[in-house]
Structure 1
């Protein structure tokens, strides 16, 4: 059955989040430049998460004239996107590090496309709301 296998794999990945030294048990040590590039990518994802969280606070604080419900929806969407991006960054780091140590292809991910589309749609929605003057 596929579901229990996926759950076991997820549990193994989660253990690596909090005990990253265990990754050394997998495969062989890759070129350090690749591991450091993976770490820089992880940090870039965290910066993106912080930017989304900051955007959520900015919408809440600097667009007080927006209708409360609209402002809350935009704020929560940005904060949730930031949280999701932060969690996904750790998952991506572990998956890439494991693939490099095993000599496998790096894992494919839809997350960048989904994040980009989500941020783009949210930006358009905010622009429409502001341009239409949907205020209290």
Structure 2
């Protein structure tokens, strides 16, 4: 249900149209977390491109798959970061418990698989 006192320029409306304005420190911390995920995404993209450009492990299939995994993860991570930011901000505005993070385990699996593929390609 939209609130009358909400500035129409604030986006996304699904987040800002509910609840009360939280303490700015918490909203800013949530934003910093979002930006940290964006930086992580950029680092994953750089690592994937570097694997390919610098021929780490040669031009082998495992090295290519590792590169594609890292770049693919870097494409999905900002979308997850945006979605997670909205979930946390909505929880803050409604004075509800914060949702649990959901990206840790999948990201760990992608990184472990990429590392194993790079090791395999370097050693073969």
When normalised by structure 1's length, the TM-score is: 0.76
Is the counterpart of residue 117 in structure 1 residue 109 in structure 2? yes
4+ aligned runs moved over 6 Å, structure 1: none
CA RMSD of aligned residues (A): 1.9
Partner of 1:63: 55
Cα deviation 1:2-25 (Å, max 9, x = unaligned): xxxxxxxxxxxxxxxx93255221
Range with greater deviation from structure 2 (99-108 or 42-51): 99-108
1:96 to 88, 96, 107: 88
- SS class of match (1:53): helix
Cα deviation 1:35-91 (Å, max 9, x = unaligned): 000000000000000000001100110126623433321211111010111111100
> For the structure 1 residues 38 and 28, does the alpha-carbon distance in structure 2 shift closer, same or farther, using more than 3 Å as the test?
same
- Unpaired runs of at least 5, structure 1: 1-17
When normalised by structure 2's length, the TM-score is: 0.83
In 2: Cα distance, 1:65 partner to 1:115 partner: 22
Normalized per residue, the structure richer in helix is: 1
How many residue pairs get aligned? The number is 115
Contact 2:56–2:118 under 8 Å retained in 1: no
